[in-house]
């Protein structure tokens, strides 16, 4: 993971906090974990990994059951990932 862009490392840290927070609904924690796996998948280019994770995160950011702080963190991760290009 040390060879990853700084934005990916920061986004992963944000998503880990969401994935480990018991106050966040299970489906949102699961999506955060799946996004982390996508970001760590070295078989794809960095830009593709970021785009896939953004797509997944965008879906869960619309979930009405998401606590406000989790939604804000998701948007923060998306903003970081949008900076990544191939």
| Tokens at 63, concatenated | 């979930």
Nearest to 9 by CA among 84, 62, 86, 85: 84
User: What pLDDT sits at residue 86?
Assistant: 79
Distances (CA, A) of 13 to 7, 23, 64: 10, 17, 23
Give the separation between CA 49 and CA 52, rounded to whole angstroms. Answer: 5
Check: pTM over 0.75? Answer yes or no: yes
User: What pLDDT sits at residue 62?
Assistant: 93
Distances (CA, A) of 49 to 22, 44, 56, 57, 80: 26, 6, 11, 12, 13
- Tens digit of each residue's pLDDT (9 = 90 or more) over 37-73: 999 999 999 999 999 999 999 999 999 999 999 999 9
Q: 6-81, what's its fold? A: de novo design (two linked rop proteins) (1.20.1440)
List the chain domain ranges.
6-81
């Amino acid at each position: 993971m040390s060879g990853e862009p700084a934005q990916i490392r920061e986004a992963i840290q944000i998503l880990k906090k969401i994935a480990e927070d018991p106050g966040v609904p299970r489906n949102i924690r699961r999506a955060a974990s799946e996004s982390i796996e996508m970001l760590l998948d070295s078989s794809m280019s960095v830009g593709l990994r970021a785009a896939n994770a953004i797509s997944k995160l965008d879906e869960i950011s619309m979930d009405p059951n998401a606590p406000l702080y989790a939604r804000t963190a998701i948007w923060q991760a998306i903003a970081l990932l949008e900076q990544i290009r191939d």
